[in-house]
Amino acid sequence: MSDTLRAALALAGKDLRLEFRSKTGIISAAMFAALVLIIFNFSRDPTTVSNLDLAPSVLWATFTFGAMVALNRAFHLERENAAFDGLRLAPISREAIYLGKLLANLVFVSLVEAVTLPLFILFFDVDLSGALPGILLITLLATIGFVGVGTVFSAMVVRTRFAELMLPVLLLPFMVPPLIGAAMATTRLLAGRPLSDFAGWLRFLAVYDLVFLTLSALVFWAVVDE
Q: Which residues bind another protein (CB under 8 A)?
A: 149, 152, 156-157, 159-162, 166, 169-170, 172-174, 176-177, 180-181, 184, 200-201, 204, 208, 211-212, 215, 219, 222-223, 225
Q: How far is the CB of 211 from another protein (least distance, A)?
A: 7
Smallest CA-to-CA distance from 198 within 142, 149, 148, 144 is with 142
Please say which residue, 34 or 157, places its beta carbon nearer to another protein: 157
Please say which residue, 90 or 172, places its beta carbon nearer to another protein: 172
Please say which residue, 55 or 111, places its beta carbon nearer to another protein: 55
User: Within its chain, how far is the Cα of 85 from the centroid?
Assistant: 26
CB 165 within 8 A of CB 62: no
Q: How far is the CB of 111 from another protein (least distance, A)?
A: 26
DSSP line for 132-193: HHHHHHHHHHHHHHHHHHHHHHHHHHTTSTTHHHHHHHHHHHHHHHHHHHHHHHHHHHHTT-
Q: How far is the CB of 91 from another protein (least distance, A)?
A: 22
Please say which residue, 23 or 161, places its beta carbon nearer to another protein: 161
Q: How far is the CB of 129 from another protein (least distance, A)?
A: 27
CB 127 within 8 A of CB 145: no
